[in-house]
Chain A
Amino acid sequence: MALPPNVSEEEFASALSEFAQAVGDEWVFSSDEDVALYRDSYSIYWGEPEERVASAAVAPANVEEVQQIVRVANRYNIPIYPISTGRNLTYGGAAPTLSGSVVVDLKRMNRVLEVDEDRHFALVEPGVSYYDLYNYIQERGLQVMLDVPDPGWGSPIGNSLDHGAGYTMAPFRDHFGSRCGIEFVTAEGEIVRTGTGAMPGTDTWQDYRYGVGPMIDGLLAQSNFGIVTKMGFWLAPMPETFLTGTVTVPRYRDFDALVKEVSYLEDSFLTGMPSFGSPAAGGGFGQASPQMAELMQDGWPSVERLEEFVSAQGRPAWSVELRFYGPEEVVRASWDAAKRRFRDRVAGAAFEDGDFWRLPLSAEELATNPRKPLLGVPALEIFATMARNPRTNDAPLEGHADLFAILPRKAEAVHEAARAMSDAYGELGVPPAHHPFSTPLNFYSRAFIVPAIVPTWRDPARNAQSRALYSRLVDRCAEHDWIVYRTNPAFQDQVVSKLSYNDNALLRFEEKLKDGIDPNGIISPGRYGIWPASMRSGRA
C-alpha cells in the first residue's frame, strides 16, 4: 500500500478511520484493488516508480463532509487531491499530482442545483457530468444549449478547472471563461463563495461574477488553493437553427487572408467555432500522409514548391468551415455577409453550403448525428479516433498525452509551429505528424492551437520514447515563446518553468499565496508547479 509522504502506517490508519467517520466506511477506499481504480489509465509512466498513484480515496456526499475531510487531512498532514468526475484523460486521469495523496472523489456530489431558462445559467455540484446536466435539461424541456468537450462523461466543474474547452460560440466554449460564481472549501475547512455569492441571500450569484473587490476565481483553476463544491455557468439560449458553410481559398499564400477574415468574423460574433482544413493535403490535422512525407523529404519546402504542389493537386490549398447559430434569417444573412467579405478579399475564394438544422434536434435525429459536440450534446464518439482500427490492429493505442501549443492567430505562426514540431519529431526518429498544410484548432476564440497527440502505452520502453518527444516539444515550443494551455502532471514543472519572466515572478507570487492559504500544503501539492514550502527545494 502506498503511504502519504512522511506519514507513518499507524497515523495513516487512524486518519483513514477518521475519514470513515466523516463519510461512512463504504466511501473510504484503501484496499490495493480499490486504490488502483484511481490510476491514470493513460499514464505516460504506467507501471514505473514515477507513476502518480494515490494512497487511498474518499468520496464525500456533501460540503460538510468535504470540510471534515480537509480538517482531518490538516491534522495528519496528509496531501489530498480533489477530482470532480476524474475523467481527465491525457492530462492525468483520476490520479493525483503527488504520489501518496488521498484522492477526494467528488463524484457523489451530483446535484444539479438550478438551471434558469430565462437568465440562461446553471448551478451544479462537482460530480454532475455533462450527460447529467444535459439529461436534466432534456427531462424538463428547458430551452438552453450546453457547450460540451468531446468526452461527455467529464464535468463542467472538473473540465473548467483544468481550462477545458468545447465547440459552440466563443463565450461558451471557453469553459472557465463561462463560469459565474464559485463555492469552495479552503485548506482550513472554511466555505467561501466568490462574486456576489459572498452576500447572503443574493439572487445575482450566477448573473454578475465580479462581486466587489478582487475576483479570486482564477486561483481555483489549474492550481491547489481550494476544493470547489459548487459552480455556476452561463449557458446559451437554445438557438433556433444551425447552419454551416465552407469557404475554400486556392493558393498556399491565401492562408494569411483566410485567417484574418475568420478572426474578423469570430471577433464580431458572426460565426461559431471555425474549423480549418486543407483539401490539397487531404486534411489538416493528424498523421502526415505518405504524400506529405514525400513533400518534406528534402527538408521544409519553399513557398514556390508548395504552390506547385497545390496546383498539381487541382484542389484548393485551404478551407474553413463556418458555423452559425441563431434565427434562420440571421444565420443565412451572416453566411451571405461572410461570402461577400471573402469574395472581396481573396481572389478565387469559393463557397459550399453545408448543414442546416432546426434546433433542438429530436433524440432520434441526434442518435445518428455525427456532430453532437457542435450542438452541445454530450457523446463519447471521439474515442473512435484512437480505438483499434485496421491500421493499428497489431498494437492499438493505449492512451495519449496531448500537447496543445497556444499561438497568435497568424498564418506564419501556424506554419512555424508545424515546422518546429515536425523537426522535433524528426530529431527523435518519430514519423512526422505535422506538415506545411497543418491547420490550427480554435477552441479559444482569441488564440490558435497547434496540437501534438503523443501516444502512451502500458509499456515502459515505448513510454520512455513518448516522454522524450513530449518533453522535447515543450522545450521547442518555449524556444519559440509558445506555451501549452494545459498539461499532464508529468510535465507540469517543466511547463511552468518556462514562465520565466522576471525570474519566475508569477510562480513565486503563487507560492506566497500557497504558504498563506494552505500552510500545511495539503491540497494537491505540486499541481501546475505550485509546491508547498516543505516540498519546494526539489523543484526545477
Chain B
Amino acid sequence: MKVTIVVAGLAILTTAALGQNAPSADTGKVVFDKWCTPCHGAVAPAGGLGDGALPGTSALRVKYNGELPAVLEERTDLAPEFIETVVRGGLFGMPITRKTEVSDSELEDIIAYLTRSNN
C-alpha cells in the first residue's frame, strides 16, 4: 500500500512539474460546453420553455435580478469552492455531477475557466 502511495505522489509531482496537470481554462471551456452549456449557455431557443432562456441562465437571471450576469461564463465573482460545492452537491434543479462524468481534474479545468477573469 505504502509503495503505491509514494509512487502516485511522485507521479503527481512529476506531471505538475511538467505542467501537464495544471488546470487549463481552455480545456475547461471544452468540458463546460459539454456538461454545462446546455443549461448555462447564452443562446436560447426562441419561444422556448421557462423565461425564454436556458434553465440555468433563466434561474440566475431571476436569482440576481440584473445585479450579476445571468450567464455563468460572464461572472467574475465565482469562488472555486462555491463552483465545486454546486457541481458536486447540486443546487435546486441542478443535480449532482459524478466523477465518472466530470473528473476532479476536469472540474479544476472548469473552475480555471469560470474564474479566468476574476478580480
For chain B, which range describes its interface: under 10, 10 to 19, 20 to 34, or 35 or more residues?
20 to 34
- Assembly CA distance A118 to B59 (angstroms): 43
Q: Contact flags (1/0) for B73-109 with A, using CB distance below 8 Å? A: 0000000000000001110111111111100000000
Contact status B95-A380, CB under 8 Å: no
A393 B63 Cβ-Cβ under 8 A: yes
In the bound complex, residues from chain A placing their C-beta under 8 Å from that of B89 are 36
- Decide if B46 is an interface residue (CB 8 Å cutoff): yes
Cross-chain pairs A/B with CB under 8 angstroms, 11 sampled: A37-B99, A89-B95, A105-B100, A131-B34, A368-B43, A369-B45, A384-B55, A387-B56, A396-B92, A398-B93, A399-B93
User: Which residue of B has the minimal Cβ distance to A106?
Assistant: B100
The residue from A37, A372, A384, A385 contacting B88, defined by CB atoms under 8 A apart: A37
A370-B46, A388-B59, A397-B93 are known; give 6 further A-B pairs, CB within 8 A: A87-B95, A131-B34, A367-B43, A387-B56, A387-B58, A389-B62
Q: Is the CB of A41 within 8 A of B95?
A: yes
Residue from B38, B39, B89, B95 with most neighbouring chain A CB atoms (10 Å): B95
- List the A side residues contacting B46 at CB < 8 Å: 368-370
A-B pairs, top 3 by smallest CB distance, nearest first, are A384-B50, A370-B48, A41-B95
Q: Does B72 have its Cβ within 8 Å of any Cβ on chain A?
A: no
Residues in B whose Cβ lies below 8 Å from that of A387: 50, 55-56, 58-59, 92-93
Known: A37-B88, A368-B43, A399-B93. A94 touches B98 (CB 8 A): yes
**Cβ of A52 < 8 Å from any Cβ of B?**
no
B47 close to chain A: CB less than 8 A: yes
Determine whether A509 belongs to the interface, using a CB cutoff of 8 Å to chain B: no
- Interface of B, helix, strand, loop or mixed by DSSP: loop
CA distance A29 to B34 in the complex (A): 24
Interfacial residues of chain A within 373-410, with CB under 8 A of chain B in the complex: 379-390, 393, 396-399
Count of inter-chain pairs, beta carbons less than 8 A: 112
- A382 and B58 contacting across the interface, CB-CB below 8 Å: no
Q: With an 8 A cutoff between CB atoms, is A152 at the interface?
A: yes
Partner of A39, one of B34, B55, B94, B96: B96
Instruction: Flag if A381 contacts B49 (CB, 8 Å).
Output: yes
Contact status of A381 and B45, CB under 8 A, knowing A34-B99, A388-B63: yes
Q: When chains A and B are docked, how far (Å) is the Cα of A398 from the Cα of B62? A: 16
Q: Give A contacts to B, CB under 8 Å.
A: 25, 29, 33-34, 36-39, 41-42, 59, 86-87, 89, 93-94, 105, 107-108, 127, 131, 152-153, 367-372, 379-390, 393, 396-399
The verdict on B26 contacting chain A, using a C-beta distance below 8 Å, is no
Q: B49–A370 contact, CB under 8 A?
A: yes
Contact B95 A93 (CB under 8 A): yes
Contacts of B88 in A (CB 8 A): 33, 36-37
Select B4's contact among A25, A372, A382, beta carbons within 8 Å: A25
Max count, chain A CB within 10 A of own CB: residue among B46, B50, B56, B97: B50
Q: Which of chain A's residues has its CB closest to B90's CB?
A: A41
Q: Is the CB of B58 within 8 A of A368?
A: no
A41 to B48, CA, bound (A): 25
Is B100 in contact with A107, judged by CB distance below 8 angstroms? yes
Nearest-Cβ distance from residue A147 to partner chain B, whole angstroms: 18
Q: Is the CB of B98 within 8 A of A38?
A: yes
Give the distance to chain B from A102, nearest Cβ to Cβ, in Å: 14
Closest residue on chain A to residue B46 by CB atoms: A368
**A105 contacts which chain B residues (CB < 8 A)?**
98, 100
Tell me which of A33, A59, A384 contacts B54 (CB under 8 A): A384
Residues B21-59 near A (CB distance < 8 A): 34, 38-39, 43-51, 53-56, 58-59
The distance from the CB of B23 to the nearest CB of chain A, in whole angstroms, is: 19
- Please pick, from B4, B51, B93, B97, the residue contacting A383 in the complex, using a CB distance under 8 A: B93
Q: Which of B43, B62, B96 has the largest number of chain A CB atoms within 10 A?
A: B96
